[in-house]
Amino acid sequence: MGFQSPALEYGALAPMLIIFGAAIIGVIVEAFLSAKVRAPIQLAISLGAVVLSLSQVWRLRGSATTTAAVNSVVIDGPVLFMQGTILILSLFALLLIADIDAFAAQASAVPGSNEEARALESGKIQTEVYPLTLFAIGGMMLFPAANDLITLFVALEVLSLPLYLMAGLSRRRRLLSQEAALKYFLLGAYSSAFFLFGAAFLYGFAGDVSLAGIRSAVSGGPGNDIFLIIGMVSLSVGLLFKVGAAPFHSWTPDVYQGAPTPITAFMAAATKVAAFGAMLRIFYVSLGGAVYSWKPIFTAVAILTMVVGSVIAIAQRDIKRMLAYSSIAHAGFLLTGVIALNQEGLKASLFYLASYGIATIGAFAIVTLVRDSSGEVGDLNRWVGLAKRSPAIALIFSLFLLSFAGIPLTAGFIGKFTIFTAAYESGNIAVVVAGVLSSAVAAFFYIRVIVMIFFSDPVEDTVTVTIPSLYTNLTIWIAAIATLALGIFPAPFLDFIATFATFTR
């Protein structure tokens, strides 16, 4: 029995290969080039790779579904759409990362030590963040494309490990950042264990790790139902942890607050797309036949997530924590798209992910701009009266908040509307009612922030809005325009999504 090298479909895999290749080049650059020139070169490599990869995704759109790499990867409509979305969101995240003073001079230096001071003085910067980002992007692109549980797990780890590291790279308040990274890592590993445990049980149930194999086992195979349920629930815990659904959400506010803001933006936007992509695939493709087992749990989780995210957000005093809870609430809304389990639900989820992602990146981009002498100001009380100083920024931030709240004429409204409609039509009325009610509660805290920004007099304080650099400016404006455009003329984009929204089983 000779060893047969697997046949790789380079064309179909090109988007991911480009990203991974560029990540490896980035590592080599770190090793061989002098510190001074690394930053611009790394940025150029990263942006180039993302754009090139995006062009490959564009080339692949509309082509017939293929499986690649010995059936471990599937390239179909939703995958291409999600890869495209992840790439676009990453592009903006990279632009935010390029405003590099969010990152530590030397992450390995002990906070407060002489070593740290020296590193700061020498003007060093931790440029490893670029290859790390690229690896994470690659993992995110692979996650929804994975066609078996092993590949799924590998993708999960490839996307998670760089994020754990990146969360600890903050230049300021480093202890908070490192604590966040450690928490994220520990809990992430813990949830990965659940995931792996579930994968093992599913293998035990189906005798196969491929999604297609599990699907056929679910729809009338000889498997053991208890194994199926244990496997399904455990696997879900791993996935729900990644999307930040209650009660597996506790890490989210701590990590979002501690991580450097560009990384928070990247996590909040792109990770959510990848994780929901994988979740949608597993439940639409493999476990659709067992819907009566998992739907009640998912309904409960969705409702709990919406309620927890919306209600706790009200009591937050920190803008990043508030956005973290908002992202939890959005995870709940997105879960209704999973529960809907129909074509409309998939379409709505794709739209929601794109519109939520872009607004999230924009909102965090603005968070990076509000500063005092010691860095970003998260305290909401100090955002009071911001509009008096920077009306344009305040206006755009309000636009993002209104989109999160789902107010008409923003993308968020169309997203919520389509996703709730899909859930309603599939008969999940309870979750829609809970969704609408918690949307109302959520609107309360978003609008409270807008009121604070606009209608209160600024406190005597040193908070300023820094003039955004070209990169950040570009991100903010494109995000704002996209949010408004998708809200006012959603039809072309929805039609565009409809051409993607069929999973290959």
Residues that bind other proteins (CB under 8 A): 182-183, 186-187, 190-191, 194, 225-226, 229-230, 232-234, 236-237, 241, 246-248, 250-251, 253-254, 292-294, 296-297, 300-301, 308, 311-315, 441, 444
Quick one: CA torsion of 149, 152, 158, 162, rounded to 10 degrees? Answer: -120
Give me the least distance between CB of 253 and other proteins, in Å please. Answer: 7
Give me the least distance between CB of 205 and other proteins, in Å please. Answer: 13
- What b-and-e string marks burial along 52-67, b requiring 16 or more CB atoms within 10 Å of the CB? bbbebbeebeeeeeeb
Question: What CA–CA distance (Å, rounded) separates 176 from 41?
Answer: 30
Give me the least distance between CB of 318 and other proteins, in Å please. Answer: 12
Give me the least distance between CB of 228 and other proteins, in Å please. Answer: 8
Give me the least distance between CB of 190 and other proteins, in Å please. Answer: 6
Residue number, 229 or 498, with CB nearest to other proteins: 229
- Check: CB of residue 159 under 8 Å from CB of residue 271: yes
Collapse the DSSP code of 458 into the 3-class scheme (helix H, G, I; strand E, B; otherwise coil) and give the result: coil
Residue number, 353 or 380, with CB nearest to other proteins: 380
Residue number, 441 or 494, with CB nearest to other proteins: 441
Q: Is the dihedral of CA 394, 87, 102, 39 positive or negative?
A: negative
Question: What CA–CA distance (Å, rounded) separates 317 from 447?
Answer: 14
Residue 132 carries which DSSP code?
A: H
Residue number, 3 or 292, with CB nearest to other proteins: 292
Give me the least distance between CB of 203 and other proteins, in Å please. Answer: 18
- What b-and-e string marks burial along 157-187, b requiring 16 or more CB atoms within 10 Å of the CB? ebbbbbbbbbbbbbbebbebbbbbbebbbeb
Give me the least distance between CB of 297 and other proteins, in Å please. Answer: 5
Give me the least distance between CB of 56 and other proteins, in Å please. Answer: 38
Residue number, 150 or 229, with CB nearest to other proteins: 229
Residue number, 297 or 481, with CB nearest to other proteins: 297
- Check: CB of residue 258 under 8 Å from CB of residue 176: yes
SS3 content of the chain, % helix, strand, coil (to 5): 75, 5, 20
Residues near 325 by Cβ (< 8 Å), separated by ≥ 6?
Answer: 252, 253, 308, 309, 310, 312, 313, 316
Residue number, 297 or 436, with CB nearest to other proteins: 297
Residue number, 62 or 247, with CB nearest to other proteins: 247
**Angle, helix 490-498 to helix 343-367, in steps of 10 degrees:** 130
DSSP string, 177-244: HHHHHHHHHHHHHHHHHHHHHHHHHHHHHHS--BHHHHHHHHTT-S--HHHHHHHHHHHHHHHHHHHT
Q: Which tokens belong to 330?
A: 């959005």
Question: What CA–CA distance (Å, rounded) separates 42 from 307?
Answer: 42
Residue number, 180 or 334, with CB nearest to other proteins: 180
Give me the least distance between CB of 187 and other proteins, in Å please. Answer: 6
Give me the least distance between CB of 246 and other proteins, in Å please. Answer: 8
Residue number, 170 or 475, with CB nearest to other proteins: 170
Give me the least distance between CB of 250 and other proteins, in Å please. Answer: 4
Give me the least distance between CB of 37 and other proteins, in Å please. Answer: 39
Residue number, 252 or 418, with CB nearest to other proteins: 252
Residue number, 304 or 474, with CB nearest to other proteins: 304
Give me the least distance between CB of 185 and other proteins, in Å please. Answer: 10
Residue 72 carries which DSSP code?
A: T
Q: Which residues pair with 75 in a beta bridge?
A: 66
The CB-side HSE value for 379 (13 A sphere, CA atoms) comes to 9
Nearest to 174 by CA among 374, 381, 383, 466: 374
- Name residue, tokens 């080039």: 33
Quick one: CA torsion of 236, 237, 238, 244, rounded to 10 degrees? Answer: 110
Residue number, 8 or 175, with CB nearest to other proteins: 175
